[in-house]
Every structure is written in C-alpha cells, then in structure tokens.
Structure 1
Amino acid sequence: MRARLPLLLLLAGTAVLYLWRLGDSGWANAYYSAAAQAGAESWSAWFFGATDPAGAITVDKTPAATWVMGLSARLFGVNAWSILVPQALMGVASVWLLYATVRRTAGEAAGLIAGVVLALTPVAVLMFRFNNPDALMLLLLVAGAYCTVRATEKASVRWLVLAGVAVGFAFLAKMLQAFLVVPAFALVYLVFAPAALLRKVWHLGAALGALVVAGGWWVLAVELVPAGSRPYIGGSQSNSVLELALGHNGLGRLTGEEIGSVGGGGRGGGWGRLLGAEMAGQIAWLLPTALVLLVAGWWAGRKGERVGLALWGGWLVVTAAVFSFMNGIIHAYYTVALAPAIGALIGIGAVALWRKRQEPVAAAALSGALAVTALQAYLLLLDWSTVLAAVVLILGLLAAVGLFLVTVAPAVVVVPVALVAAVLGPGAYSVATAVTPHSGAIPAAGPARGNQPGGLVLAGPGGTVTNVGRMGGGMGGLLHAPTPGEELVRLLRDNDGFTWAAAAVGSNNAAGYQLGSGEPVMAVGGFNGTDPAPTLAEFQEMVRSGRIHYFLGGAGMPAETGSDASERIVEWVEATFTATTVDDVTVYDLTAGAQP
C-alpha cells in the first residue's frame, strides 16, 4: 500500500481537479449535450448520434462519445453532472494508463512524472471537464499505447491486436485524428519487438485488421441502413459517413477544402503555430522541454527507455506536424492530443538523465531543460500574473544552476524546487481553468477573459486566426446555444401530436431550445446550417403533414460552400407564415396558415 501511495495521491488529486465545481459549466457544449439527451430518450437516436430524439440529423462526428453520455443520462437523468462526469473519469483513467505505460519502459518515477504533467496540462483539464469527443479519444489512444508497449515486450500479437482495437474505437470518437498515432505504434513494434521481420509484419497486418473492424463496423451498419430509415449524417453533403470521415473530418482539415464550412482555411501556420498566442497557453508550457528531453533522453536512455521515447516521440512529432501545417479549420483545444506524449517524454527523459547526472553532459541537459521550462512559463504567465511569472522564473533558474552543479548542490533541496518550478505555471493555469465555467462550441483553457469563449478558429497565414461571427436566429448562434425564457418553454412543451416541437437553423440554436424545453427540436442544416437536411421540398412536406409545430429564429450565416437549403427554408417560412415574438425570439406557428 505504501508503495502505491504516490499513485493514489496523484489519481485522487486529479479526480478533485477534474470534478471540482464541474456543474458550473452547465450544458458545456450544448451540441453534444442535446445528442446525449436524445440518446437518453431514443435508442435509435443513441445509436446514430442524432441531435434530437426524433432523429432528424446526427452530430458531425462518429457517436462513441455521445454513446457514453447518453447511457449516463439514461441512468442518472439528463443534467450537467451526468453528461460531464464521464469525461472527468476518463481523465483520471487516462492519467492512470499513462503512468502504467511509462512505468513499464522507464520505471515508477518516470510514470509518476508523466501522470502529473498530463493531469496539470491546462488543455487537458479543460477537455476532461468538457463534453467534446476529445476525452474519449485520448483515453483510447493512451490505452492503445499501453497495448503497444506490452506487445513490443514479447512480440505479442494479442496485445498488438488490442492496440488496433483501441485505435479503431478512438476513430469512432473523433474519426481520422485518431490515426495520427498509428505511424509511431507501427514503427516501434517493427524496430523493437523481439521477432523476425516477417512475423512482425504479419502481426501488424492483424492489428490493422482489428483497427478496421473496430472502427468500421458502425460505418458499415450506417451505410447499409436506407437513408429514409435513419437520421441524415450531419457534416456531409451526400448523407454519407464515408464523406464525413474523409472530407469534413478528414482530408478537408488538411487541405482546407471543407465543403459546407462557413469559413475557409488558410495556409498552414508552420511550427510556430503551437507556440503562438492562440495555442501556447493550452499546451506549450512544457512542449520545448519535451523536445529537449526526447533528444537528450535518447542519448542517456537504456533500451526500454528508448522504446518509450520512440513511441511518444513519434506520437508528438507526427501530431504536432499535422496541427502546425494543416490548412483547414483547427481549434486550440485539439492540442490536448499532444499532452500524453509531452508528459511521457518529460518523465522518461528526466529519469534517464538523472541516472547519469554525474556526467557533465547529462547535468547540462537537465539544467538546460529546466531553464527552458522556467523561461517558457515566465513568458506565458506575463499577461496573467507578473508576480507568479517572476517566482517561476527565479525558482527555475536557481534549480537549473543546482542541477548543473549536482556534485555540490544537495539533491534533497534541488529536486523539490525543480519540480515546483516545472509545474507551478501550468498548474496555476489549470486551477484557473477548473474554476472558470466553460460553454459553447470552442472552449479555451485558462482564467476567465473578456474574449472567452472565442470564435471559430481558422488556420490563417503565419499562424493567424480568425473569429467567425455568430449566426443569426433568435437568441442563439453558430457557436453558442440560447437559453429559452419561461413563456417560450411553455409554448414548446405544448407539443401533442408533433414529431418536432420546433425547427431552428443550426445545431446550437436547436440544442438550446431542446435542452431548455425537453422537447425535440430539428436542427435545420446541421451544425452551421450548410447541410442539405432537410431540403426545402422535404421541409414543406413535413409542415404539410403536421410534423413540425414552430419555426424559431431567422436566417443563418450564408454558406461559402455547401447547401443553401436552410436559407431557402427561412425565406419560405418568412414569406408564408406570420411572425410573432416570444421572449425576444421570432416564432412562426407552422400550423396557423399562411399570412395574407
């Protein structure tokens, strides 16, 4: 028990940080909360990931994350805690799995350091307290790394197949982003597994097959169901999961050619993007340090440590390169995918160098790594707390000198000061993240600021970003869900005999009204109103057959690409029905007949 006490303290502290005042964020991302609500009421909506119980359209991701939230909502009711707690628990499990993975290659101390770094990475605190799909994806990818390490130890095809299964299910959480770790996993097994090359190639083929089955069964099931018997696939222009995976959530993110986007991408930002103002506070606290320790740790490391460095180094470099140079829409919170690799590299590299600390090169590398850490934290803290920035810089530089003069400075003093200097900056930023409620489609880690939450982040020249304005339509918007007033809620709940209590352009508009009233609300056009679901003819037929009671709000943002069906629907509604105002929302009663 005493041997496990540091791990238990780490997990307990992580749980407190991730669960403390979790309900303050309310519905967090109402888009996914509405899908969880729908899944709690309808098994069909749950399976397909529909945003409303009647199943008009799905979220623009594969639905594994909403499966978890939907089941939790079924068990514990539809509320903020039932939706957000699963993500927090995934965070605790990710820290534990990262510890276990690193421990197998570099020992207990390295595992604990890796776990602490992950737990205190600001963007990780943000996403494990939020209900985007990233939490589940990250947990599954760390599980895949654990299985890969186990497979590499004894050339075990069973463990390698399990790694493929984990990555495949991560695809069902966030599609092609999950595959960024595959090159690192495959290369580590090919280089380090103790078996003949042909046998290792066969094992990798089996793992690839497991990945395809684990990630593809749901895609196949959806493609086999007739379009009229399931919801429209949100984020696609042809009602196809394959188009969604390869286009909007796949190659389109790399090239910038995202059909249906409300804003185009720009040129990739280059390596400086991750260190720029938009992303640095999320992930860059220890990113330079991780790169230093990757190189220095490889020099100092043993074979097992090099296995870990190769795996996590490959994870970090490939993912960072894609994020740095992709031309499509990118959000700062995507960088949470880098956090496990950063933590692992710091844990493994620091332990490897500490073992050789009597050698001048190792001492200089340790000292330099800590100095880089202190300087980076100082720069990131300056616009928030100059006092804390100064404290971190002073402690870090003093500890860096102590690490360099390791034969003179007492380790019992230097090591604690070095650890405090390394985690104080991101730790304080993480606590500030935890006490700040977050909502909307694009959250950001850190203390509350006047510009939070931000707009739609588009990759631009030189790493610049653009905020896309909100969509019109009553009180809602493209990125933020409305909170309906009491009179509007009463109106929507008068829903006897209707499939949908109302329809509104954009998924966040619809989500706010649905969560507030508990009644199904159709998201016309999907997330940003640019999906051809429904078409004008289909919408007119649903109105004629008495399936939709009200239409809420007005026109959405004009589409640069994709369908203009939602604009045509709005024009028809405005020209055909009489508008009234309820709680500052424009309401059209679709059963009241046409206006003169």
Structure 2
Amino acid sequence: MVTVTTSVLDTSSVVPPRPAAPASAGGFGGRAVERAGLTALLIATAVLYLWNITINGMGNQFYAGAAWAGSKSWEALLFGSLDPANFITVDKPPVSQWVMGLSGRIFGFSSASMLIPQALMAVAAVALLYGAVRRVSNSHHAGLLAGAALALTPVAALMFRFNNPDAVMVLLMMAAAYATVRALQHASTLWIVLAGAALGFAFLAKMLEGLMVLPALGLAYLIAAPNPIRTRIVQLFGALVALLVASGWYVLVTLWWPASSRPYLAGSTDNNFMNLVLGYNGFARVLGRNHGGGGGGHAQTPPAHAAAQLPAGHPGFGGFGGQVRGVERLFSGEFGVEIGWLLPAALLAFVLVLISRGRAPRTDLMRAAAIVFGGWMIIDGAVLSYMNGMVHPYYCLSIAPAVAGMFALGIREMWTRRETLFGRLGAAALLAVTGVWSFVLLQRNSGWYPELRWAILIVTLLAAVLVAIPWTHRAHRRFAAAVLTVGLLGGLSGAAAYSVATVATAHSGGGPTVGPAQADGHGDWGQAQANPQLTALLQKTNSTWAAAVNGSSSAAGLELQSGKAVMAIGGFSGSDPTPTLAEFQADVKAGKIGYYAVQSNGRGQGNGSFDSRTDTTGTADRSATGGARTQRSQTADPARMPGGSGGFGRNQHTDITNWVTATFTPQQVGNATVYNLSGYLG
C-alpha cells in the first residue's frame, strides 16, 4: 500500500501570503528528491490498484455489456449501447464506455482490458491531486500526503477497480480542480477554459453529478484570481462556453441523429437526452421520484436478499431502504467506511485554514484552495446527504479527492503555524480527530483485527499530545516533524487496512461494498446466473438479436456469456417505453430476434419480472413499496430466475410477454423457458 516515509511537511514557519511556484532547483537534494517521492507514490498506487484486478471479473455486468458492445460496433461505442445491434443504451452518457470499449477494441475485450484503464485513472487522479496541493502549499510533502490519502480511501480502492462510470467522472472533476488551481496562480484564461472543458466531459460521464464541483471552482476563481473582477467574469464565461461545447456536441448528436437509426436513450421517457438529464438522472434522482413505475423509472431498490449481503459491522444497508437521510448519512453505515475516515478532520481543516488565512490578501492561494476543496466537499457532500432518491454509497467517490486534498492542506497550514498555540492545537486536533474517528469506524466491525483500532487510537493521540508541545530547539522541531509523520501514518492506517481488504476481495453486481470479504457476497445483485445450455443455444443463432429478454442486466449477462447481441426489452428496469408490441412483432416477423427467454412461471426474464409468489420455503413475498413493486424473498431460489437474482423494477411490457406465450411453443433450456421466434409470418 502507499506510505509516506518522510516528514509530511517542511520545517518553515513563514507563511507567505501567496506561496511561490514550485522550486526548480536541480540536483539530488531538490527536484530530484521530489520526483522520486512522486514516482514512488504513483508506482505504489498503480501496484495497489492493478494487483489481481481481474478478481472482479466482469464487475457490473450492466456496464460490461456496453463495453463489450462498444468493442464490436462503432455506433454502439458512440452512444454507449448495451448491445452491438444498437437497440438501447445504458442509462448514462458514454464517456466511460468510450474508454473501456476502445481498450477492448485495441487489446481484445476481457476483464483486464476493461478494468485496467479504470485503475490507471486512479493513478492519474492521484498525480493531479498531488500537483494541485503542491502548487498551492509550496510543499512536496503536503502533495504526497494528499495523494496518499486519496489512494488509501476505501471507496477509491473499490471504484477505480470497477467498471462503473464513477472513475472517469471523478478523474475529470479532479482535472477541472487542477486546472482551476493553475488558473488561479496567474489568472490564466487557458487553464480556466480547460477546467470548463474537463467539466463538460465529466457531465458526459454521469451528467449533473459530474458538475457538483463547479460552484466551488467558480467561486474560488471569482474571489481569488489576481486580475480585475470584470476580467474574471469574462474568463468564467469563457469556461462556461467551453463546458457547453465539450458536453453539448454529444447532446446535439443525439438530437440530430434520426431516432429511427440510433439506439433508444435508456431512462428517458421520450428518447430525448435532456429528458434523461433533467428527469431520470437529474432532479428526479435528487427528489426521490425515480423509484420505478412509469417510463424512465429506475427502480433501484435491490432484492431483499441483497440487504442480507451487507458486511457485518456496517449498520444499515447504505444507499437503499434502511439508509439515513441527512448530515449523518456520510458518517454512518456503508457510507462511513467508504468515505468517512478523514471526513471529520477534513471539515475541521476547512475551518482552520479559513481562520488561519482570515487576514491574507484576496489572492491568497491557500485560502483559494480551501474554497476549491472545501467547497467541493461541502456542496457535493450536502447533495449526497440529502438526496431523497436512490443513493448508492459508492457515489461518495465524487468527494474523495476533495476530502484528501482538504485534509492535507489543513495539516500543512497548521504545521506552518506551529510556532503559535493555534497552529499546534490545530495540528493536534486534526490528528486526534482522525485517530478517534478511525477507532469508531473500526469498532463497528469489532471482530475484524480489533488490535488495529487500539493501535491507531494510541498512536494518534500520543502524537497529538507531542505535536501540541512548543518545541523550541532545532533538534526538537525535527522530532516534532517525525512525530507528526508517525501520527499521520497511524491516522491513515484504518483506511489503508480497509482499502487493502477491498482490493483483496472480489466485487460484482450493482452494489459493491468495501472492506473484508463476507460469506454472503459483496453486493452482487443484478448479476445473471450462468446457463450453459442457453448460452450454447444463442451462440448458434445468426439473427440481429440472438434473444430478447426483459431488462438490461439480464440482457448484458447473456451477451457476455454467449458473445451475441441480446435485446433488452424495457431497458434497465423493464419500464422504458421500448419496444412497443407492434415494433417487437415487426422485428420477429423480419427474423431479427431468435428467441425469447422467460422464467419458469412464464414471465419475462430478469429485470422487471417480480410478482408476488411463494418461494421455496412456502413464504409469500412481501411488497417493498406499498404495492407498487414486489421483490423475491431472500429465501427464494435464484435458479428460478435465469436472468440472475438481481432484477428489479416493474415490467411495463406484459403485452409482449403475453403475445409470445400465446403464439409460440415453450421449451425448457437449462433453468430458463425459451420460445423459438423463428418462422413467424404474421
């Protein structure tokens, strides 16, 4: 894992109002040492994140199916289609699929070609965070601390080794923050425009979530850039134009490309990209209006058995039904162990830096950086905390660079003020808060290495006491620096241990979680169960779509198993208004669909196909949403669900299912009931 082996901060007690640019002195004692430290940090990050990365297999099959499709079809790559025949897209913009699909085209599609680019994005994000903190603090060691803190954040170790869109989104958000820091140094139009362009592509990764850093960046530049206010406003307008250009071209492509010859935009109610942005993936998600039902409803509550997979000691199934809403969300349950390790200290650091820099000039870079990272952390964190819709705990990756950066800036600022009581007590408080909160988080999983939490608590509190002492002699100051370094290493140990445990554990499905492996799995709901007989049957087909199934996750699973395109009726949750019965019948008549796969009870496969029924123990399923949607009991037999045990949502295409079952003869193929659609004349 990543470690910091030198004093975290230099020994200067002078606080310049505007830190100088990084030194350019050559020789082994200057930039050479810095480069060696940065290289070691990046290599350690790469080793940690690339280690046995294929343990995660296809990760989230939903996105893996789209990456596979993109490796087979340029049009599928452009739109982020779930299948190479371009029936429907995934429910997000395609930037993540561009990266993984292109990698598959170049190297051949596999788990490695899909996931290695994700891990390399982590290395790039760590490098950018190091560079931003290094520039504003004029401290190589503060940059190393920030980069190491990000690399050792458990949610980063989880999601930068997974195939969800969050990795590329956060990298682009960090790139925008870095560009803003560069712009702040010299009021650079070029760099602030580049920041806007980076945010435009972050929007094309996960829409509005990618823009959560924008208010903090704009405010920091408006306040602190060293040029007249009118010029700052014009430059920010230029950044906004760059954002609109970087994101808007794709929106125009979806609007100008004839809808009849491109895939349906999943999650929208009218096949319109902006409907997806403002509704399903926008305000509906924040306000809690995307829990399924009508078109575009993204039913995100997992099956009941998924809740049972939550690791012991992670109270509350974070992100779903039992999760708290409010300020405590980011500190409790699964959120707490994914992002919470340094969060209290980072919030304290934000306050301490603002107080410390209260009388600095308007253009002070350290205060501006606190606005960048602190504002990013608070604004984005507030949205995550109060979202009333579906919230996966791993969404908190979006604030991981901000938390790490703000923590490092707080340590650096307090260390430069160590000649004052405020500086010493501030540094001691940051260490103590980190150690105590790590102890609390580890206590929630008390059976896992219990000695670790006590070691962290003792080391950090002892270091805090020693740092608070006013050391006067030079040798004593070096001792204080060593104590601070040890305290920080102790404070990072809890997060590091959870990150290493996360890397060592296989993750798959729609709800991956961090920490040590659990006997019941790690959030692998939404994964298709293997059906070798059905796979062999589909591999023999030559039709446009080898099969049609209800729901995207089921379709993606069959695609990955068979290497054939599969039509996902109704999109992710089975509720997207495509295809109509008439369209489906026309495709069947034209010989474009080989088979229709259903469950043994005659309903559509996978997503959107749960009815109240009696499970294998004779216990009736109960509705999880007051009758709007029902789920299988956790004791139900997954073998009855050929599309996997993770489907959810309400089936809006029963007319298709009813027509198929009334028109064609069923046959049992493995654990699936299949209808051969060939030969239909209408």
User: Normalized against structure 2, the TM-score is what?
Assistant: 0.81
In the other structure, the counterpart of 2:9 is none
Pick the aligned partner of 2:279 from 247, 254, 266: 247
C-alpha distance in structure 1 between counterparts of 2:204 and 2:528, whole Å: 25
Is 1:557 matched with 2:608?
Answer: yes
Is 1:444 matched with 2:513?
Answer: yes
State the secondary structure of the residue aligned to 1:2.
Answer: helix
In the other structure, the counterpart of 1:585 is 672
Contact kept, 8 Å, 1:188 with 1:307, in 2: the verdict is yes
In the other structure, the counterpart of 1:279 is 335
The size of the alignment, in residue pairs, is: 570
Is 1:261 matched with 2:302?
Answer: no
- Cα shift at 1:563: 8.1
Contact kept, 8 Å, 2:134 with 2:142, in 1: the verdict is yes
In the other structure, the counterpart of 1:493 is 539
In the other structure, the counterpart of 2:550 is 505
Contact kept, 8 Å, 1:444 with 1:452, in 2: the verdict is no
Contact kept, 8 Å, 2:573 with 2:651, in 1: the verdict is no
Q: Report the structure number with the largest CA radius of gyration.
A: 2
- More helix, by proportion: 1
- Cα shift at 1:574: 2.3
Contact kept, 8 Å, 1:274 with 1:324, in 2: the verdict is yes
Is 1:404 matched with 2:404?
Answer: no
* Stretch of structure 1 that moved more, 568-577 or 29-38: 568-577
In the other structure, the counterpart of 2:33 is 2
Pick the aligned partner of 1:56 from 81, 87, 101: 87
Pick the aligned partner of 2:583 from 538, 542, 547: 538
Q: Residue deviations 1:88-111, cap 9 Å, x none? A: 001100000110011110121211
In the other structure, the counterpart of 1:205 is 237
In the other structure, the counterpart of 2:656 is 569
- Is the alpha carbon distance of 1:151 and 1:263 closer, same or farther for their aligned partners in structure 2, counting shifts above 3 Å? closer
* Stretch of structure 1 that moved more, 290-299 or 571-580: 571-580
Pick the aligned partner of 1:311 from 372, 376, 383: 372
- Cα shift at 1:426: 0.2
Opposite residue 393 of structure 1, the aligned amino acid is L
After TM superposition, list the pairs within 5 Å mapping 1:18-33 onto structure 2. 18-33=49-64
- Cα shift at 1:202: 1.1
C-alpha distance in structure 1 between counterparts of 2:394 and 2:582, whole Å: 38
C-alpha distance in structure 1 between counterparts of 2:145 and 2:300, whole Å: 41
Pick the aligned partner of 1:516 from 558, 561, 566: 561
C-alpha distance in structure 2 between counterparts of 1:540 and 1:376, whole Å: 59
State the secondary structure of the residue aligned to 1:3.
Answer: helix
Is 1:100 matched with 2:136?
Answer: no
In the other structure, the counterpart of 2:42 is 11
Contact kept, 8 Å, 1:268 with 1:327, in 2: the verdict is no
C-alpha distance in structure 1 between counterparts of 2:229 and 2:79, whole Å: 41
C-alpha distance in structure 2 between counterparts of 1:449 and 1:377, whole Å: 21
- Cα shift at 1:575: 2.5
- Cα shift at 1:453: 3.0
Contact kept, 8 Å, 2:608 with 2:651, in 1: the verdict is no
Contact kept, 8 Å, 2:172 with 2:202, in 1: the verdict is yes
C-alpha distance in structure 1 between counterparts of 2:247 and 2:482, whole Å: 50
- Cα shift at 1:195: 1.5
- Cα shift at 1:412: 5.0
In the other structure, the counterpart of 1:223 is 255
C-alpha distance in structure 2 between counterparts of 1:230 and 1:592, whole Å: 27
Contact kept, 8 Å, 1:102 with 1:114, in 2: the verdict is yes
Contact kept, 8 Å, 2:208 with 2:282, in 1: the verdict is yes
Pick the aligned partner of 1:375 from 436, 446, 457: 436
Q: Residue deviations 1:97-141, cap 9 Å, x none? A: 110011110121211111000000000111110011111111111
Is 1:422 matched with 2:473?
Answer: no
Pick the aligned partner of 1:89 from 120, 125, 129: 120
Q: Residue deviations 1:391-450, cap 9 Å, x none? A: 111111111111112428732541232022111000000000001011112211211124
C-alpha distance in structure 2 between counterparts of 1:195 and 1:412, whole Å: 37
- Is the alpha carbon distance of 1:558 and 1:490 closer, same or farther for their aligned partners in structure 2, counting shifts above 3 Å? closer
Report the RMSD for the aligned CA atoms in angstroms. Answer: 2.0
After TM superposition, list the pairs within 5 Å mapping 1:158-237 onto structure 2. 158-237=190-269
- Is the alpha carbon distance of 1:268 and 1:213 closer, same or farther for their aligned partners in structure 2, counting shifts above 3 Å? farther
State the secondary structure of the residue aligned to 1:534.
Answer: coil
- Cα shift at 1:586: 1.9
C-alpha distance in structure 1 between counterparts of 2:190 and 2:396, whole Å: 31
In the other structure, the counterpart of 1:462 is none
Q: Residue deviations 1:169-220, cap 9 Å, x none? A: 1111110111111111111111001111111111111111110110111011
Contact kept, 8 Å, 1:237 with 1:563, in 2: the verdict is no
Is 1:137 matched with 2:179?
Answer: no
- Cα shift at 1:558: 6.0
In the other structure, the counterpart of 1:326 is 387
- Cα shift at 1:581: 2.0
Contact kept, 8 Å, 2:508 with 2:523, in 1: the verdict is no
In the other structure, the counterpart of 1:480 is 527
**Structure 2 unpaired stretches of 5+:** 1-31, 291-295, 302-319, 611-627, 630-648
Contact kept, 8 Å, 2:551 with 2:608, in 1: the verdict is no
Q: Residue deviations 1:301-358, cap 9 Å, x none? A: 4622111111111101100110011111110000001110011111111011011112
Opposite residue 43 of structure 2, the aligned amino acid is A
State the secondary structure of the residue aligned to 2:549.
Answer: strand
Percent identical among aligned pairs is 45
Opposite residue 415 of structure 2, the aligned amino acid is W
* Stretch of structure 1 that moved more, 79-88 or 384-393: 384-393
